Amino acid sequence: MLGDLLAAARRADGELAAWLAHNEPALAVRAEEAARAAGETLAGFARASFTAFERHAREEEWASMTSGLRRTDDPGLACLADIIAWRLAADETATTTTDQEARS
Protein backbone atom coordinates (compact mmCIF):
# COMPACT_ATOMS: atom_id res chain seq x y z
CA MET A 1 0.00 0.00 0.00
CA LEU A 2 2.74 2.47 0.89
CA GLY A 3 4.36 1.73 -2.46
CA ASP A 4 1.07 2.50 -4.25
CA LEU A 5 0.81 5.82 -2.43
CA LEU A 6 4.37 6.84 -3.19
CA ALA A 7 3.97 5.86 -6.84
CA ALA A 8 0.74 7.85 -7.05
CA ALA A 9 2.45 10.88 -5.52
CA ARG A 10 5.26 10.64 -8.09
CA ARG A 11 2.84 10.64 -11.01
CA ALA A 12 0.49 13.18 -9.47
CA ASP A 13 0.70 15.97 -12.02
CA GLY A 14 -0.69 13.90 -14.87
CA GLU A 15 -2.48 10.81 -13.73
CA LEU A 16 -3.72 12.14 -10.38
CA ALA A 17 -5.03 15.34 -11.97
CA ALA A 18 -6.97 13.34 -14.56
CA TRP A 19 -8.23 10.83 -11.98
CA LEU A 20 -9.36 13.60 -9.62
CA ALA A 21 -11.08 15.52 -12.42
CA HIS A 22 -13.03 12.40 -13.36
CA ASN A 23 -13.74 10.93 -9.90
CA GLU A 24 -13.60 13.90 -7.52
CA PRO A 25 -14.06 17.08 -9.59
CA ALA A 26 -14.64 19.42 -6.63
CA LEU A 27 -11.54 18.07 -4.89
CA ALA A 28 -9.57 18.47 -8.13
CA VAL A 29 -10.39 22.18 -8.26
CA ARG A 30 -9.60 22.72 -4.57
CA ALA A 31 -6.31 20.80 -4.81
CA GLU A 32 -5.16 22.71 -7.90
CA GLU A 33 -6.04 26.04 -6.22
CA ALA A 34 -4.24 25.08 -3.01
CA ALA A 35 -1.17 23.90 -4.92
CA ARG A 36 -1.07 27.11 -6.93
CA ALA A 37 -1.51 29.24 -3.77
CA ALA A 38 1.38 27.37 -2.16
CA GLY A 39 3.55 27.85 -5.24
CA GLU A 40 3.67 24.09 -5.84
CA THR A 41 2.75 21.72 -8.61
CA LEU A 42 -0.04 19.26 -7.91
CA ALA A 43 2.64 16.57 -7.54
CA GLY A 44 4.51 18.64 -4.96
CA PHE A 45 1.29 19.38 -3.10
CA ALA A 46 0.38 15.68 -3.13
CA ARG A 47 3.80 14.68 -1.77
CA ALA A 48 3.62 17.32 0.96
CA SER A 49 0.09 16.15 1.82
CA PHE A 50 1.33 12.57 2.09
CA THR A 51 4.15 13.63 4.41
CA ALA A 52 1.79 15.66 6.60
CA PHE A 53 -0.70 12.78 6.75
CA GLU A 54 2.01 10.30 7.61
CA ARG A 55 3.22 12.50 10.48
CA HIS A 56 -0.01 13.94 11.86
CA ALA A 57 -3.04 11.82 10.97
CA ARG A 58 -4.83 10.10 13.82
CA GLU A 59 -5.40 6.36 13.86
CA GLU A 60 -9.05 6.71 12.83
CA GLU A 61 -8.02 8.88 9.86
CA TRP A 62 -5.64 6.15 8.70
CA ALA A 63 -8.42 3.57 9.13
CA SER A 64 -10.84 5.69 7.13
CA MET A 65 -8.33 6.18 4.34
CA THR A 66 -7.42 2.50 4.10
CA SER A 67 -11.07 1.40 4.12
CA GLY A 68 -11.39 3.00 0.68
CA LEU A 69 -9.02 0.45 -0.81
CA ARG A 70 -11.84 -2.01 -1.42
CA ARG A 71 -13.97 0.36 -3.48
CA THR A 72 -11.54 1.47 -6.19
CA ASP A 73 -9.57 0.16 -9.13
CA ASP A 74 -6.58 2.35 -8.26
CA PRO A 75 -5.94 2.23 -4.51
CA GLY A 76 -2.89 4.48 -4.68
CA LEU A 77 -4.73 7.32 -6.36
CA ALA A 78 -7.86 6.89 -4.23
CA CYS A 79 -5.85 6.98 -1.01
CA LEU A 80 -3.85 9.95 -2.22
CA ALA A 81 -7.11 11.76 -2.99
CA ASP A 82 -8.27 11.05 0.58
CA ILE A 83 -4.94 12.35 1.90
CA ILE A 84 -5.23 15.54 -0.16
CA ALA A 85 -8.78 16.06 1.14
CA TRP A 86 -7.45 15.54 4.68
CA ARG A 87 -4.75 18.17 4.15
CA LEU A 88 -7.19 20.68 2.69
CA ALA A 89 -9.48 20.19 5.69
CA ALA A 90 -6.54 20.52 8.09
CA ASP A 91 -5.37 23.69 6.33
CA GLU A 92 -8.90 25.15 6.51
CA THR A 93 -9.12 24.34 10.22
CA ALA A 94 -5.73 25.94 10.87
CA THR A 95 -6.73 29.07 8.92
CA THR A 96 -10.03 29.36 10.81
CA THR A 97 -8.29 28.92 14.16
CA THR A 98 -5.64 31.51 13.27
CA ASP A 99 -8.30 33.98 12.13
CA GLN A 100 -10.28 33.50 15.35
CA GLU A 101 -7.17 33.97 17.47
CA ALA A 102 -6.27 37.15 15.60
CA ARG A 103 -9.74 38.59 16.34
CA SER A 104 -9.48 37.80 20.07
Whether residue 73 is predicted with pLDDT greater than 70 in this model: the reply is yes
* Other residues' Cβ atoms within 10 Å of the Cβ of residue 66: 13
User: What pTM was estimated for this model as a whole?
Assistant: 0.78
pLDDT per position as a tens digit, 24-72: 999 999 999 999 999 998 888 988 998 899 899 999 998 888 887 777 8
CA–CA gap between residue 87 and residue 51 (Å, rounded):
10
Whether residue 99 is predicted with pLDDT greater than 70 in this model: the reply is no
pLDDT at position 47 is 86
Band the pLDDT of 13: cuts 50, 70, 90.
low
CA distance readout (Å), 49 to 31, 95, 101: 10, 16, 25
For 14-25, give one letter per residue: b (16+ CB within 10 A) or e: ebbbebbeeebe
pLDDT at position 12 is 58
